[in-house]
Amino acid sequence: MAASGGKTVGYFLWKFGNCCFNLNTNFLSPTPQVLSRQLCVSAVLHRKNLAAAGSEKFSEEFIKKQVEEFNIRKRHLANMMGEDPETFTQGDINRSIAYLFPSSLFDNKAKPLMKVRLPPGLLFLSHVSFQWGADRRPFHFLFYTGKQSYYSLMHDTFTKALAVEKHQDRLRGKDLFTQAAKQMISFLTFAISQGNDRLTQDQRLGATPILPCCVSRQHARFIQLMERLLSLPYCSVEEDFVQRYRRQLEIQSSKQQVQPLQYDQHGVAYSTGDARRKTATGTVLLRDSGSGSISINGTNYVHYFPVLQDRSVLGRFDMQCIVSGGGHSSQVGALRLSISRAMLSFLTEVQVETMRQAGLLTPDPRIKERKKPGQEGARRKFTWKKR
């Protein structure tokens, strides 16, 4: 009842202008929870209120004030619940509110909540400082492009490129220009770490998390510009700038888990592998015995796979395979992958990398395409009738 009463009061008071907004909050705010409830009573109302309120709602001081008030309320709540105010997290707040105000409503937005709520008209992240001052003029000269961070970054990069070229011209003027200048690591070379472990890392221009709304086309343009900068011989002058936007990618082979060899009672090394392809599953037990006998589900592989295409396997190992599901082709695919996985423990790193690049270690993600409504199959349409 109090909620609905508050709602109608709020709506009633709003009609008399934004000055009543403050009145509203003071009138019905005995506890912190109810205040936050007022703030999120109706999204439309809230937005209208803020738009009418003007620019003071968007200023940094307002946000800071909100955050401070929220912290005070949080401490009150912690005291109420008998918990330590210092270590009271948002999860604890949610649980306390749910305890104090149990609600059987289904919609999460309709339940009571206590949170720092920024005005919904605000599009920026809370940790980013504000784009305009008290006189409502924007600080950044590229604000009106709409993507100020992206364009400012492009602008900076190009400035650096021009600076490098100028430096080069100066050196040419003094006859000190050499083609064999210290080249910066260009975008696809290895940067081998001192330790000889498998996690050698390759430096490459990756995505920058600094740009919030960077679309892939803009990202591509940015990389193009960076590459142009890197193509200049004396780009090592601006190395720090470039390194800020580099992320390191792991070498894919380090992701492959290789199980150690297991030995059975006769001292023969063996390893297992299993894989799936398109609803067929296969398990393989690979034994390093040297005879080359391959048995699948008990029968010989020549009998199980009569098609020549399915039989392209090796002769050193002894294999016992179990395969089920799918058709003959997908069973073969499953077996191939499981054999490759089982073989990993017998091979060296270089061979493993070769296998990976030959495509023998990737599980094939292709499945049967679903049938769509309005069509007879996945692609086939119904017979077209003119009338």
- Which residues are near another protein by CB under 8 A? 188-190, 202, 204, 206-207, 209, 247, 249-253, 307-310, 312, 329, 332-333, 336-337, 353-354, 356-360, 362-367
Least distance (Å) between residue 291 CB and another protein: 21
State which residue, 249 or 268, has the beta carbon closest to another protein.
249
Provide φ and ψ at 163, rounded to 5°. -65, -40
Instruction: Pinpoint the alpha helices (H) of the chain.
Output: 2-14, 19-27, 32-39, 43-53, 60-81, 90-100, 148-173, 216-231, 239-243, 301-304, 328-343, 349-357
Give me 252's structure tokens: 């894919």
Element (H, E) at 325: none
State which residue, 146 or 209, has the beta carbon closest to another protein.
209
Q: What is the rounded distance in angstroms from the CA atom of residue 102 to the CA atom of residue 112?
A: 9
| Nearest to 253, CA basis, from 337, 355, 364 | 355
State which residue, 20 or 360, has the beta carbon closest to another protein.
360
3-class secondary-structure state, position 270: strand
State which residue, 92 or 353, has the beta carbon closest to another protein.
353
State which residue, 15 or 368, has the beta carbon closest to another protein.
368
Residue 262: DSSP 8-state: E
Least distance (Å) between residue 55 CB and another protein: 36
| Nearest to 96, CA basis, from 79, 110, 115, 77 | 77
State which residue, 76 or 276, has the beta carbon closest to another protein.
276
Least distance (Å) between residue 189 CB and another protein: 7
State which residue, 110 or 207, has the beta carbon closest to another protein.
207
Q: What is the rounded distance in angstroms from the CA atom of residue 345 to the CA atom of residue 352?
A: 9
| Angle at alpha carbon of residue 276, lines to 271 and 277, rounded to 5° | 135
Least distance (Å) between residue 125 CB and another protein: 17
Dihedral over alpha carbons 222, 227, 230, 231 (to 10 degrees): -140
Q: Cα 227 to the chain's mean position, in Å?
A: 24
Other CB atoms within 10 A of residue 127 CB: 5
Least distance (Å) between residue 294 CB and another protein: 16
Q: What is the rounded distance in angstroms from the CA atom of residue 97 to the CA atom of residue 102?
A: 8
Least distance (Å) between residue 356 CB and another protein: 6
State which residue, 108 or 309, has the beta carbon closest to another protein.
309
* Under 8 Å between Cβ of 269 and 289: no
Least distance (Å) between residue 238 CB and another protein: 22
State which residue, 213 or 251, has the beta carbon closest to another protein.
251
Q: What is the rounded distance in angstroms from the CA atom of residue 272 to the CA atom of residue 2?
A: 67
Residue 132: DSSP 8-state: B
Least distance (Å) between residue 43 CB and another protein: 28
State which residue, 30 or 365, has the beta carbon closest to another protein.
365
Q: What is the rounded distance in angstroms from the CA atom of residue 310 to the CA atom of residue 249?
A: 36
3-class secondary-structure state, position 189: coil
Provide φ and ψ at 229, rounded to 5°. -60, -40
